[in-house]
């Protein structure tokens, strides 16, 4: 009888699934990108997932994130942990804490790979500094208006904050899903072949391009 990873096993192979199962991935941020990335990775066989976020679900999150109306007011990490366990039986590790320079080394210490899905430059800089100090892999993923990107740390420059609420701009669910999907595939390729390709995504012309 086919199990829930039947198609992944056909596509990637049993050995690959074993490697994905054991890869320790820490996802920093559980918003439009982080929540969709966690769900995508869990459904493809990643089982050693940990999520860091201190926000609660708000009504405006429902359009672009994995949460539903029943989750409003709950901590995002708790709602996400419940959703993933009900969906695929994977139990997430979670920290409902704000990642800071003081606690980053502790919160990220067990990672083989970190995914920076934060929506502000200060938190992105904390992730980058901690990963570089610990010398483990990190990929940064982000969006603005109709543009998304997935950039491995070796090529990533933390952008300057613009002093505005980063959530207050037009944001399509389709862009969030595309960017999350490209992030998941990029992490899969890293896990299975050590490839670190970086990508740009533009929704207006539906293009996904590898960085030159």
Q: Two tokens at 209?
A: 């391009």
Residue 1 lies in a domain: no
The CA distances from residue 25 to 41, 70, 71, 167, 181, in Å, are: 10, 27, 24, 25, 16
Condensed to tens digits (0 to 9), the pLDDT of residues 173-210 reads 899 999 999 999 999 999 989 999 999 999 889 999 99
Give the Cα separation of 51 and 162 in Å (integer): 26
CA distance 33 to 27: 10
Residue 41 located in a structural domain: yes
In a domain, 176, yes or no: yes
Structure tokens at 150: 């997935």
Helix (H, G, I), strand (E, B) or coil at 137: strand
- Can you tell me the mean pLDDT for 40-51? 95
Predicted confidence band of residue 18 (pLDDT cuts 50, 70, 90): confident
Q: Model-level pTM?
A: 0.93
Q: What is the count of structural domains for the chain?
A: 1
Q: Is residue 3 in a domain? A: no
Identify the weakest region by mean pLDDT among 7-16, 21-30, 86-95. 7-16
**Is residue 7 included in any domain, yes or no?**
no
Q: Which of 72, 71, 69, 62 is nearest to 31 (CA)?
A: 62
Domain extent for 183: 12-210
Residue 82 domain-assigned (yes or no) = yes
Domain of 90: which CATH number?
A: 3.40.50.720
pLDDT value of position 8: 79
């Amino acid at each position: 009888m086919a199990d829930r990873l039947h198609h992944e096993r056909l596509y990637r192979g049993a050995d690959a699934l074993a490697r994905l199962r054991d890869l320790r991935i820490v996802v920093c941020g559980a918003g439009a990108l982080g929540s969709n990335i966690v769900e995508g990775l869990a459904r493809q066989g990643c089982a050693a997932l940990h999520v860091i976020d201190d926000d609660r679900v708000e009504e405006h999150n429902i359009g672009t994130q994995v949460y539903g109306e029943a989750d409003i007011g709950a901590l995002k990490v708790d709602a996400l942990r419940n959703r993933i366990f009900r969906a695929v039986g994977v139990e997430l590790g979670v920290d409902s804490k704000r990642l800071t320079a003081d606690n980053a080394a502790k919160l990220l210490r067990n990672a083989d790979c970190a995914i920076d899905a934060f929506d502000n430059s200060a938190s992105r800089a904390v992730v980058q500094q901690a990963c570089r100090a610990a010398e483990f892999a990190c990929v940064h993923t982000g969006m603005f208006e109709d543009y998304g990107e997935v950039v491995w740390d070796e090529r990533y420059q933390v952008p300057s904050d613009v002093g505005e609420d980063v959530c207050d701009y037009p944001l399509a669910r389709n862009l969030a899903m595309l960017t999350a999907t490209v992030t998941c595939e990029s992490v899969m390729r890293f896990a299975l072949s050590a490839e670190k390709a970086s990508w740009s995504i533009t929704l207006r012309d539906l293009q996904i391009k590898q960085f030159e």
